[in-house]
A and B are shown apart, each in its own frame.
Chain A
């Protein structure tokens, strides 16, 4: 077995690190953990790691995923996987933690293709229970939630309503009222902050956390890797009909000079 699927959490201060930076952290941590990853061929070889759906910067998560291809076959048994998990966890910075690793069938579809919805929890800042209930009913009863946003210099009008699958009010918190919502991820992820910004008046989302990601297996929704299962030897990768996708995602490749570009470069001490 060469491919593995990893489920990890992102919590605490490190939630303010961007998706792209998390990708860089992973590459470095895997080297530090001395997990040998397969590299792509060619001029500038890249490690074969493919990341799941991006998590908005500032949000926490209990359920992030990535797939990676190892350079060498490993035994598909509990102990080997457990050891890999421990080594990676020692190498990862505080706040990122692998919860589970499982073997992945080589030909299974990529995470970005199979995941169809996420479960989120977040606080409606400054709301009372009553207001929260009214808000969630309002959203669910509405026939459309139209937002305008700019993409590549053009204004795109979108209806988010179909992306809101369910909303449930949970409890009062320090920041307001916590709700749980299932939001769609295809053709693109609906972020809780977007949904709240589209409310009238706009609401500030606090303590946003992705609880689960879901894919379909027949009529049922399952997680790409569930932490509740017994230590399964191999993850069940559902065979999901491929959808028309138009991802606009960065692949974690950093342009070297990006950070330097805007600086006035000093002239006399080039060292």
Chain B
């Protein structure tokens, strides 16, 4: 293999932020190549700054490089200026570790954590000189394998990928590597043989091995083409995080990136059951890392990297049963207090504020909460069971302990939402400001609102998304309300982006042509407001005779085939449907960590269980714990780890 560094060197003076392309991270591995080894290029198809911190990619990078039969390097999408300079100079898409052309790797692995990066996937393939359509690829071309949350509906990109991995990648990456190694060492002859073989690995979906059938315009089924191909592809789940203390050597970049700090994953999964939240649904069950291991990972990580900030990552981090031990222990270990700890996702209650107070002893500038909806009725619909009491006691305790600014996240365009519900968002913010007045001279609350996009494998997968006009109207409503409220700042996300996201989130294979069209028209970096262009998407839909109504705005029916019905995140479809019906009736559902199992399927189907160190619901908050209904701390759920 060859490095294109000598050619790159000459052009890096001509692009913005050249440090994006040089690698040089602390923790980067020098790959040792051998012709029998399987080589992976792990790509995050967004900028280096956004992609480098991605934990999933870093975990796979280490696991693959620890194998004796494989090597892995990394790549990130070149910014538009770099892409044109590469094309001008006839240089290919390359790895940042040793600057090798992507074309020379056996596998191009893409992490897809957001739908709007799909056009960047095509851009990277094209720059790599790899045919963007899987059917055009020759045996010597790399295999294109994708992973990440978006792969729970890979149909819109089915034409471009050779395989998609569902669920945790830690174990399946080795299964894939071994399969490819055998194929490679036996002469790498036919593309079909490797695709068919990959399709038999649990957790691996090969679109080529399945045929969609339509009746008139409607998708009626997606079925296997080959006898050995499974009818349903089940996600992979790592049962115990203790076995996977990765990344062991978190990469420390030489240029500024997002989340530029030590990140330690404290648990995976979430059973709060917020009905809009795909991440929570598809990562069940909850698997905690032992507090002791977390502390070791922090102390070793800090020593190795020189970071002075550590973030405990997970969904709803305050639910981690070892939270107090870890926070106190870490702050004590660090001695002089030069180390700061942050929790990316705060629960809305006083207990959490207590933890935050512990964390931010000196700098109490802002706190962020996500009540997600303004009215209690609405929060029951979405099953974000934050009581008013919880919120205001959290806010009260925050202001009284010296915080001056509060940021509140909300969604609008939710099922059954009325204008009353929408306006309740600003009411809530106003009340927070009032609570703050008794403690601060000029308390301020920032309300940040996003338009809701329904996602696969959530109870809201049947919901017809609000139209762009409707979302926009709601935003205007909120903006007007906020204007007359002292101390309330209002921010919102572009509702046009929600439309494009809506097209791909629940699209089927026919959306592939739309993605390709948008890319051909120059629509890359659609996650970036300076490049996002809804018109490209609307035009492409029209050109291919596909309607926004049918793909985005329409409620789905119980009988119809969803494009992801042949895939499984473990969740029973009837559980999700029941949840959808309950949502419409504004009936909440408690967290199954502390109440009996509802048999959603995530544990029962795979013979695994929550791994939670404490059977006690977290102190001081009712959010979804259903504590109101419990008289004591004894809860009928086991919490030991794997079922034997």
A residues whose Cβ falls under 8 Å from a Cβ of B: 13-14, 16-18, 20-21, 24-25, 28-33, 43-44, 57-58, 91, 93-95, 206, 254, 258-260, 262-271
User: In the complex where A13-B23, A93-B24 touch, is A267 in contact with B498 (Cβ < 8 A)?
Assistant: yes
Interface pair B363/A44, CB less than 8 Å apart: yes
Q: Given A13-B23, A271-B315, are A263 and B305 also a contact pair (CB < 8 Å)? A: no
**Residues of chain B contacted by A24 (CB below 8 angstroms):** 256
Partner of B19, one of A17, A32, A44: A17
B447 to chain A, nearest CB (A): 14
* Cβ-neighbour of A264 out of B257, B345, B528 (below 8 A): B528
A21 touches which of B19, B149, B279 (Cβ 8 Å):
B19
How many residue-residue contacts, CB under 8 A, span A and B? Answer: 119
Q: Which A-B residue pairs are the 4 nearest by beta carbons? A: A267-B450, A32-B306, A28-B306, A16-B18
- Chain B residues lying within 8 Å of A17, measured Cβ to Cβ, are 19, 22, 24, 254-255
Q: Add 12 more A-B contacts to A14-B254, A265-B450, A266-B116 (CB < 8 A).
A: A13-B5, A16-B19, A17-B24, A18-B17, A21-B19, A28-B305, A30-B306, A58-B13, A259-B49, A263-B529, A268-B450, A269-B149
Contacts of B254 in A (CB 8 A): 14, 17, 21, 25, 93
Contacts of A13 in B (CB 8 A): 5, 22-24
CB closest chain-B residue, reference A57: B18
Q: Is the CB of A270 within 8 A of B409?
A: yes
* B-chain residues with CB within 8 Å of residue A93 when the two chains form the complex: 24-26, 254
| CB proximity to A under 8 Å, residues B134-154 | 149
Nearest to B307 among chain A residues (CB) is A28
Query: A16: which B residues are within 8 A, CB to CB?
Result: 12, 18-19, 21-22
Chain B residues with a Cβ under 8 A of chain A: 5, 10, 12-13, 17-19, 21-26, 49-50, 114, 116, 149, 252, 254-258, 276-279, 303-308, 315, 338, 344-345, 362-363, 370, 409, 411, 450-453, 455, 493-494, 497-498, 501, 526-530, 532
Q: What chain A residues lie within 8 Å of B255 (beta carbons)? A: 17-18, 21
Interface SS of chain B: helix, strand, loop or mixed? loop
Q: How far is the CA of A16 from the CA of B307 in the complex (A)?
A: 22
Nearest A residue to B530, CB-CB:
A262
B556 to chain A, nearest CB (A): 17
Q: In whole angstroms, what is the CA distance A55 to B116 when docked?
A: 37
| A13→B25 CA distance, assembly (Å) | 11
Q: Are A58 and B493 in touch, CB under 8 angstroms?
A: no
Residues of B near A28 (CB, < 8 A) are 252, 305-308
Can you list 9 A-B contacts with CB-CB less than 8 angstroms, sorted by A residue number?
A14-B24, A18-B19, A21-B254, A25-B254, A32-B305, A57-B19, A259-B256, A260-B258, A262-B528
Cβ-closest chain B residue relative to A58: B13
* Chain A minimum-CB-distance residue to B532: A264
Please state if A262 and B22 are interface contacts (CB–CB under 8 Å). no
Which of A25, A28, A264 has the most B CB atoms < 10 Å from its CB? A264
Q: In the docked arrangement, what's the CA distance between A239 and B5, Å?
A: 45
Bound CA span A265–B450, Å: 8
Whether the pair B527, A267 counts as a contact (CB closer than 8 A) is: no
- The CA of A234 and the CA of B290, in the complex, are separated in Å by 51
- A263-B50 contact given A58-B13, A93-B24, A269-B279, CB 8 Å threshold: yes
Residue on B nearest A208 in the bound complex, by CB:
B13
A211 to chain B, nearest CB (A): 19
> In the assembled complex, how far is the CB of residue A192 from the closest CB belonging to chain B, in whole angstroms?
12
CB neighbours (8 Å) of A269 from chain B are: 149, 277-279, 455
